[in-house]
Structure 1
Amino acid sequence: MEKASLLESLKNLAQQEDALSVAREVGELRNQFEDVILEEDRQFQVKQLEAREQGEPVEERVSDPVREEFYRLYNAFRDRKSGQQRVKKEAEEAHLRRKKALLERLREVIEKEENIGAAMTAYKEIHDEWKEVGDIPREKRQDIQSEYSRLLETFFYHIKIYRELREHDLHRNHQLKLDVIRRIQELSAISQVKDVEQAIKTLQNEWDETGPVSNDAWESLKNSYWDAVRAVYARIQSFYDEKRGELASNLEQKKEIAQRAVDLVKDFVSSSTKDWDTATATLLALQEEWKKIGFGPRKENEEVWKEFRAACDEFFAKKKVFFDSLRGKFDDIASKKQVLIDKLEEIKNSTEWKKTTDQILLIQKEWKNLGSAGQRFEQKLWKEFRAACDHFFDSKQAHFSSKDKEFEENLMKKMELIDRIKATAIPEDKKEALTLLKGFAAEFNEIGHVPMKEKDRVFNAYKEALNSHYQKLKLEGEEQEKMLFQARLDTLKADPNSERSLARERYDLNEKINKLKSDILQFENNLGFFAKSEGADLLKKEVESKIAAAQRKIDELRAKIKMIQ
């Protein structure tokens, strides 16, 4: 609870006219306030030590208006409470003197008054005044009340009254005392022991204030009364015995938790945030376990609480130092992850499914390689990152789900075409044959995608059927080279991974060109070493011929690249 809230609670309690009725609550507020102040002082001292260690200016303690106002109100309340206690004590002493005077008057009536009317009048005055007198000191209460009860019994047994009135009163008192016994017995139905304690005192006072009964009924009535009273006090005693046992058990549980916290913190050292998070979760679990345990004996409970709190404070101080050292690193990672999120936001609505999927997979890999951005950022960033990924892949899933039926139809068309290719007789004329085979390739490529699990099987069947016809054609020289390469391209275009296959083909051709260029450069360098002689000229012509052949090959390869493009 914050200091300001504690101060506000104190203000409300301090306004109560009866300071004694709220003294305990005020005392608890003061203990809570001092706990908060102790924690503030500890944190301030830690800051001063850290500042000195780092060579920074040491912060000076400034005045705390909340603290000053709290103690001003508390001291004023304490003074007022002391005054009320003094007044209460003086009043109780005065009440004691009045009751002693009433006891003396009652003795005089019993011993000296012979007139029944006057005796009854005196008794009534004494009894009414007795009930009006307030509380007396606790240590005198039992003796004074017992003496009064004894004198009352003596009064009613020894004053001679009219028989009818005496019998009536004795019967009425008997019924009243029976009613008191019944209500004492009914206290067993009350669950709150504190309510039982208050009720039994009231009923005992009522028993004592009720007049006498007949001698014949007294012993039985008295025994029933004390049996009922003893049963109530036995229950009260049992409750407090059980309570003491519960407090002791709670204390042992808290000691065990405090020791576990001390053991955890004492030797804990780690450079891993995961270890710190695990240790934090363990310590927070101990705190939750502590909260579920009831109170222990006040003095011992306070001591074990200080031990437990000190261990927690030490751990979180160490944790703060550790994570402060990581904050710069986490800020950098968080900044880089935000850049990745921004990239995702730019492409998440794209319908270029293959290209965008590859981009997102690369971004996801980069995200994973960056590591954690710390507790302050990681969860928030991850939610944004995951939402952008899910947006794209959900859209992709919806798109391709609608394509399933179309893919099944395409599968049937391609299988029918493959069967036609296999069954077709190729014309003997090469030109007609090539035109027919190119037509098959174009028709195959125009048919859309098939289900993913079928694409490889369908393509391989198509490729096998087409190649079997190309192998039957007797092509020669440049025509053979060009036609076979074109057929290869047509086949590659039908590949489900055509983009990758064509890119690979283009890469291989460029590598061959680079190799030929390197060879030409080496041939040209060699030409510079040939001297002018008949033998040297022959070698030179041979090298020049190789250079020309290499250049022609480069031109052919470039033509193939152009065909791919």
Structure 2
Amino acid sequence: MEKASLLEALKNLVQQEDALSVAREVSELRNQFEDVILEEDRQFQIKQLEAKENGETVEERPFDTVREEFYNLHNEFRDRKKSLQNAKKEAEEANYRRKKVLLERMKDVVEKEENIGAAMTAYKEIHDAWKEVGDIPREKRQDIQSEYSRLLETFFYHIKIYRELREHDLHRNHQLKLDVIQRIQELSKVENLKDVEQAIKSLQNEWDETGPVGNDAWESLKNSYWDAVRAVYTRIQTFYDEKRTELAANLELKKEIAKKAIEIVTDFTSTNTKDWDTATATLLALQEEWKKIGFGPRKENEDVWKEFRAACDEFFAKKKTFFDSIRGKFDEVATKKQQLVDRLDEMKHSTDWKATTDQILSIQKEWKNLGSAGQRFEQKLWKDFRAACDHFFEAKQTHFSSKDKEFEGNLALKMELIERIKTTEIPEDKKEALSLLKTFATEFNEIGHVPMKEKDRVFNAYKEVLDGHYKKLKLEGAEQEKMLFQARLETLKGDPNSDRALAREKHDLNEKINRLKSDILQFENNLGFFAKSKGADLLKKEVESKISAAQRKIEELRAKIKMIQ
């Protein structure tokens, strides 16, 4: 075919709208056209060689317009084809992505959708959309179509299983709802209405969450359910009606208590601490009575509580002011006790043993009669006071150490007695055992002093063996406390400085009593500052418990002081 014919054929093909459909024919025309061109080029080269051999002039080759037009047309066609190919590829990729999305939707339907109606609706939408999607890349068609087919197969398998299970579920749901109705009816046997109220809500939720039943059974089940529910709520309503009556009665009781508290605060005035203690006890008793009364209606309960709390707060504020004023007396006592310490410091180096001893004993009595200087001063003053006394009496003890020979004999006697106490079998009868131990204590005390350097060792050894026997008696409670303290007193009487040791023991007990009294005063002040709340009530109970414990301890300490006297 001539070039011109090939050009005309190309013109006809490139005019086709779908360039991709004629691409192969255009490619074949191009190959034919290039074959013709190659042949023309070969013939022209032969002519050039022959002309050279003959010495002839080689003619210039004329410009080939057909060739130029053919290649221009072909290049335009190639560009248009490439553009169409790119567009087709993009469309196929977009279609591929759409089908991937449809696959994911179908996968969710297969794996997650439990409602058969919703599942079928979703399937139809997905299937219609799938059919509308155009071509996708050839290399991906088989995989994506296989996955879609697999999902459809699984889906229809599930549909088949669902239909088989649905009848079973309807029957099972029927039994579950019957069980809920029975448990609602059994709530009539539960006494605690709070438990009933919680249970009925839970059972109603359980009823709602239980799946459907067959249409033929639904009406009967529903009527039985609501009959049972209404019976429970009627009982609950009756309970709350009675509760409102109770709340109103509680409110009246609380108003009466608040009125009494206000009268105490309004009418009470005194400069006597006992009067304040009595008024405090009365107010605390009202608080205890208040706590025993149940709640009243919320708003009215809050109003009357504010009145009661305001009265208590006002009382304890006045009480605090009063007791703050008497704390000035502690400063006065502290000044006087410091003067006694200064006097002791001046005489603690004296060697006039008899006169100085009498003076110090007199100062000790004066110290006792002054009472407490309060927590801020008492401990330091007592430490300084005792140090001055100890300094004098230890010097006095040293002075009389010339009796060492007699003391050595006493040492041997006491060590022999300690060994005898240690090896003695204590009777099982507590009364006999206590009598024997007291005999040992008396015998030990009747033996005279031992050398100063040995007194602590001997006394500690004696105390250790005696304490060991007392522990074996396994005394309990108040009996144990009393007997162990009595044993301690008997032991202290054996101390070389028994008078001073017993006086110190008594002073320590009085100091403990004073500290406990101060603690009780502080606790009582604190009670007036607690707000009405669950947390505050717990704190108040804790403080009240501490007050009771401190009062019991004071009585125990006073009993011990009587034992010393």
Which structure: larger Rg?
2
TM-score under structure 2 normalisation?
A: 0.32
Select the structure with the greater relative contact order (CA < 8 A; seq sep ≥ 6): 2
